[in-house]
């Protein structure tokens, strides 16, 4: 049955008839309507009886891991993929044949998944836009006007002559969006547009989309694997294994699973975490904190349940909060028996623990790497202690991977020195390789080898004996939760299991230092949390130093220490709590504003000079040095424009807030020098 109750809820969203320039009856008619839609690929069911309704002028989100069915569903809506059963109406047209699909394609813009996959690598920015304009038969004068506007909005106008293949990931996605919008579509379909994109480009992308929604009254269907992006959607559907787990406004979805998040500190942390995991399967260690989801509990009940369990550990600094959408998503899966929570939280100590904690595990001193006249890394210094989880964060092209390649001996430095696991990186290349594990972003496993064959291959590369190979194989199978799948091809494994196996292969020789280059990219929330359980166990119980890069800013909270990079330099080096405290002191508290007209409010606050203004679904975030004064100013500014303020509340700063604000400040400095 088509979801009529959800449509009723959608009418309360800020999409008035005046905003779209169409009649009230046209506004109330769904742009997209699916009923019992199914799509199979042979014996694999990709979309399994999905019902959805998308209203005019809204951003509708499809949220779920790889293989959830998002791409298949979106391609069907775009008219480029047939489906097996059910009904699909787009703009009131029943899309059930190639002929009917052709009647709607000129009103749709499709951006496929993958950085720049709808672009041409050897064409420049301007040539790509012109090409898409020409195949859409846009008159030259209209194309020129629209091209100038969109390139200016995306800040790509200064790089018109740059070939697409030389663009950063964020620039490729913005160019892809421009080409998708050049013919002024009424519906844009964006398949994971921010995957693999750094946080600054992600926020920039969402700002552009919000501006287009405000100015051009488009409707957007957007998929994402980032749960934190759900707050930017007016309505969303959580997908898993081809089915809809939940749908509605983000707040409505969050309310489906009653419970509370309790955060506490307790020592020894690893033992306290293992104990909590026995009672509360949805627990995780996040930096110095233990974060626990307590089902069906209010604040007092949740606090009592956790503190009672930890009474022998004397828990400190206890905080209670509402669960976020990722917590809800995992809880929904857990209640349906779709998680692997039965796997032990702790892997246990190995008898011959590899690191005694003396000295430094990694030491980088003024590292420089030049490629011709370009300095990819410019004087980078930091230190990592044994048993520490160290995050190296930065936008695309900041130099993170180059730093890792120098430290692992894969790339010689132009200048500077470094030591890894006690060995000089310049002179002891083989010694370093024997003491480190490296899981690269692009390549880790042989897809056409089985699980066991991959492990044995890596064991052979590192010269392990037969006895040690058997012991390490058993350990990896247990650690990665691969029992019963030993003879499956690694390429056939789900992404989360594949990444666990890759970490296991990097650890087969028991290294003292582990380098992980974006290990959770493309992994679903369950898999990401399981990977971080493994990383936590390695650091706390085995003393392994872990250097990790990630684009998920929420994951940086797991790090004990963080170095942030920009243009080849480290501009911040501290713990997550210290970095957030620094931003709070410099720029103020994060305020969340809820209004009855968020798009108009966004325009008013942006033009009013408020700092860090961005749209999150129906809410607006901004930074305020004086929250009380800022609230008064917000209410006055919006009141003058007839916008009703429903609430203004303080929210905790996130690592994404820290990263984005610091990088944007550095970009402004660079622009001032030009």
Residues 222 and 286 in one domain: no
195 located within any domain: yes
What CATH number should be reported for the domain holding residue 668?
3.30.70.100
Residue 656's contacts (CB-CB under 8 Å, 6 or more residues apart) are: 199, 203, 228, 553, 554
What order of strands is seen across the sheet that includes strand 374-384?
374-384, 362-371, 415-420, 423-424
What is the mean predicted confidence (pLDDT) over 337-351? Answer: 51
Q: What is the pLDDT of residue 8?
A: 34
Residues 67 and 178 in one domain: yes
Residues 524 and 640 in one domain: no
Q: What is the pLDDT of residue 368?
A: 97
Q: Averaging pLDDT over each range in 13-17, 136-140, 250-254, which range is the top one?
A: 136-140
What is the mean predicted confidence (pLDDT) over 470-492? Answer: 91
Under 8 Å between Cβ of 32 and 6: no
14 located within any domain: yes
What CATH number should be reported for the domain holding residue 314?
3.30.70
What is the mean predicted confidence (pLDDT) over 375-403? Answer: 91
Residues 157 and 223 in one domain: yes
Q: Which residue has the higher pLDDT, 640 or 25?
A: 640
Residue 437's contacts (CB-CB under 8 Å, 6 or more residues apart) are: 503, 506, 507, 508, 509, 511, 513, 514, 515
pLDDT in tens, 421-443: 988 888 766 777 788 999 886 66
Is the per-residue pLDDT at 10 higher than 50?
Answer: no
Q: Identify which of 357, 390, 384 has the alpha carbon closest to the alpha carbon of residue 541.
A: 357
Residues 380 and 501 in one domain: yes
Domain end position, chosen among 197, 224, 247: 247
Percentage of residues of the chain with pLDDT beyond 90: 57
Under 8 Å between Cβ of 594 and 647: yes
**In whole angstroms, what is the distance from residue 37 CA to residue 645 CA?**
39
269 located within any domain: yes
Q: What is the pLDDT of residue 526?
A: 78
523 located within any domain: yes
Under 8 Å between Cβ of 457 and 486: no
Is the per-residue pLDDT at 198 higher than 90?
Answer: no
Separation in Å, CA 602 to CA 194, 223, 610, 638:
22, 23, 10, 10
Give the pLDDT band of residue 456 (cuts 50, 70, 90).
very high
339 located within any domain: no
Tokens 């998944």 belong to which residue?
A: 113
Q: What is the pLDDT of residue 20?
A: 35
Residues 461 and 381 in one domain: yes
Is the per-residue pLDDT at 288 higher than 80?
Answer: yes
| CA-based radius of gyration for the chain | 25
Residues 123 and 46 in one domain: yes
Under 8 Å between Cβ of 311 and 305: no
**In whole angstroms, what is the distance from residue 441 CA to residue 458 CA?**
17
Q: Identify which of 159, 156, 249 has the alpha carbon closest to the alpha carbon of residue 208.
A: 156
What is the mean predicted confidence (pLDDT) over 594-617? Answer: 86
Domain end position, chosen among 574, 596, 626: 574
Q: What is the pLDDT of residue 340?
A: 57
Q: Is 543 left (phi over 0), alpha (psi -120 to 50) or beta?
A: left
Is the per-residue pLDDT at 533 higher than 80?
Answer: yes
What is the mean predicted confidence (pLDDT) over 478-502? Answer: 87
Residues 269 and 214 in one domain: no
Give the pLDDT band of residue 355 (cuts 50, 70, 90).
very low
Q: What is the pLDDT of residue 12?
A: 28
Under 8 Å between Cβ of 49 and 37: yes
**In whole angstroms, what is the distance from residue 467 CA to residue 469 CA?**
5
178 located within any domain: yes
Q: Identify which of 208, 552, 547 has the alpha carbon closest to the alpha carbon of residue 401.
A: 547
159 located within any domain: yes
What is the mean predicted confidence (pLDDT) over 261-272? Answer: 94
Give the pLDDT band of residue 347 (cuts 50, 70, 90).
very low
What CATH number should be reported for the domain holding residue 134?
3.40.50.300
Q: How many domains does the chain have?
A: 4
> What torsion do the CA atoms of 200, 201, 207, 208 make, to the nearest 10 degrees?
160
pLDDT in tens, 617-645: 678 889 999 999 999 999 999 999 999 99
Q: Give the least confident one: 194-208, 301-315, 620-634, 636-650.
A: 194-208
Residue 507's contacts (CB-CB under 8 Å, 6 or more residues apart) are: 437, 476, 514, 538, 544
pLDDT in tens, 31-61: 999 999 999 999 889 999 999 999 998 999 9
| First-residue to last-residue Cα distance in the chain | 59
Is the per-residue pLDDT at 545 higher than 90?
Answer: yes
Which run of H or E residues covers position 630? helix 627-640
Which run of H or E residues covers position 597? none
Q: What is the pLDDT of residue 429?
A: 66
Residue 583 DSSP code: H
Q: Which domain holds residue 466?
A: 362-574
What's the chain's average pLDDT? 86
Q: What is the pLDDT of residue 443?
A: 64
352 located within any domain: no
What pTM did the predictor assign?
A: 0.81
∠ CA 487-490-492, rounded to 5°: 95
Separation in Å, CA 204 to CA 59, 103, 130, 226, 549:
16, 33, 23, 16, 21
Residues 40 and 120 in one domain: yes
Residues 525 and 564 in one domain: yes
Helix (H), strand (E) counts: the chain: 23, 28
Q: Which two tokens stand for residue 106?
A: 């000129």
Q: What is the pLDDT of residue 442?
A: 64
pLDDT in tens, 55-102: 998 999 999 877 789 999 999 999 999 999 999 999 999 999 999 999
Other CB atoms within a 10 A radius of the CB of residue 263 amount to 17
Residues 468 and 604 in one domain: no
Q: What is the pLDDT of residue 310?
A: 95
Residues 380 and 518 in one domain: yes
Q: Which two tokens stand for residue 336?
A: 């349906």
Q: What is the pLDDT of residue 358?
A: 53
pLDDT in tens, 549-590: 887 788 899 999 999 998 899 999 999 999 999 999 989 999
Other CB atoms within a 10 A radius of the CB of residue 92 amount to 11
Domain end position, chosen among 298, 322, 346: 322
Is the per-residue pLDDT at 366 higher than 90?
Answer: yes
What is the mean predicted confidence (pLDDT) over 374-391? Answer: 95
Q: What is the pLDDT of residue 524?
A: 72
**b/e map 359-378, b = 16+ CB within 10 Å:** eebbbbeebbbeeeeebbbb
């Amino acid at each position: 049955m088509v979801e009529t109750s959800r449509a009723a809820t959608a009418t309360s969203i800020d999409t008035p008839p005046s905003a779209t320039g169409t009649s009230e009856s046209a506004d109330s008619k769904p742009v997209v309507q699916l009923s019992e839609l199914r799509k199979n690929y042979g014996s694999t069911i990709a979309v399994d009886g999905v019902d959805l309704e998308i209203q005019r002028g809204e951003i509708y989100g499809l949220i779920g891991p790889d293989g959830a069915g998002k791409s298949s569903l979106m391609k069907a809506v775009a008219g480029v993929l047939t489906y097996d059963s059910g009904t699909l109406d787009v703009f009131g047209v029943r899309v059930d044949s190639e002929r009917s699909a052709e009647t709607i394609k000129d009103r749709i813009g499709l951006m496929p998944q993958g950085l720049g996959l709808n672009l041409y690598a050897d064409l420049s920015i301007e040539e790509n836009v012109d090409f898409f304009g020409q195949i859409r038969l846009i008159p030259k004068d209209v194309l020129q006007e629209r091209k100038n506007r969109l390139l200016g909005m995306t800040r790509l106008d200064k790089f018109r002559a740059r070939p697409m293949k030389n663009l950063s990931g964020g620039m490729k996605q913005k160019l892809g969006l421009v080409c998708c919008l050049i013919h002024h579509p009424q519906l844009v379909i964006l398949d994971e547009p921010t995957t693999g994109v750094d946080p600054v480009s992600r926020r920039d992308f969402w700002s552009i989309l919000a501006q287009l929604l405000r100015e051009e009254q488009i409707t957007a269907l957007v998929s994402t694997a980032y749960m934190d992006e759900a707050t930017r959607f007016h309505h969303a559907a959580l997908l898993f294994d081809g089915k809809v787990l939940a749908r509605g406004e983000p707040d409505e979805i969050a309310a489906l699973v009653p419970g509370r998040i309790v955060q506490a500190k307790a020592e020894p942390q690893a033992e306290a975490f293992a104990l909590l995991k026995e009672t509360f399967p949805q627990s995780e260690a996040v930096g110095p904190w233990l974060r626990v989801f307590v089902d069906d509990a209010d604040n007092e009940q949740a606090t009592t349940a956790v503190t009672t369990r930890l009474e022998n550990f004397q828990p400190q600094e206890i905080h209670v909060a509402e669960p976020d959408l990722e917590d809800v998503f995992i809880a929904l899966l857990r209640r349906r028996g779709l998680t692997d929570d039965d796997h032990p939280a702790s892997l246990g100590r190995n008898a011959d623990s590899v690191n005694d904690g003396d000295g430094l595990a990694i030491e980088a001193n003024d590292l420089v790497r030049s490629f011709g006249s370009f300095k990819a890394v410019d004087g980078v210094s930091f230190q990592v202690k044994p048993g520490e989880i160290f995050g190296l964060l930065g936008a695309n092209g900041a130099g993170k991977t180059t730093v890792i390649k120098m430290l692992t001996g894969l790339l010689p430095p132009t200048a500077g020195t470094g030591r890894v696991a006690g060995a000089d990186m310049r002179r002891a290349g083989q010694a370093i390789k024997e003491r480190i594990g490296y899981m690269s972003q692009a390549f880790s496993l042989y897809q056409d080898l089985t699980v066991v064959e991959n492990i044995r291959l890596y064991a052979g590369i590192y010269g392990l004996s037969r006895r040690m190979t058997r012991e390490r194989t058993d350990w990896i199978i247990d650690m990665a939760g691969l029992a019963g799948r030993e003879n499956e091809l690694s390429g056939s494994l789900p992404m989360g299991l594949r990444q666990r196996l890759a970490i296991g292969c990097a650890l087969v020789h028991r290294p003292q230092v582990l380098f992980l280059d974006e290990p959770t990219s493309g992994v679903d929330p369950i898999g990401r949390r399981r990977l971080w359980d493994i990383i936590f166990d390695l650091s706390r119980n085995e003393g392994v130093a872990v250097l990790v890069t990630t684009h998920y800013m929420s994951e940086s909270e797991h790090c004990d220490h963080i170095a942030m990079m920009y243009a080849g330099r480290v501009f911040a080096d501290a713990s997550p709590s210290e970095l957030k405290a620094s931003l709070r002191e410099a720029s103020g508290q994060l305020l969340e504003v809820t209004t009855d007209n968020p798009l108009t409010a966004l325009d008013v606050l942006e033009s009013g000079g408020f700092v860090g203004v961005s749209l999150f679904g129906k809410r607006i975030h901004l930074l305020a040095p004086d929250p009380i004064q800022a609230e008064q100013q917000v209410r006055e500014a919006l009141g003058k424009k007839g916008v009703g303020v429903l609430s203004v509340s303080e929210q905790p700063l996130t690592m994404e807030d820290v990263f984005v604000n610091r990088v944007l400040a550095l970009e402004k400095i660079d622009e001032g020098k030009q």
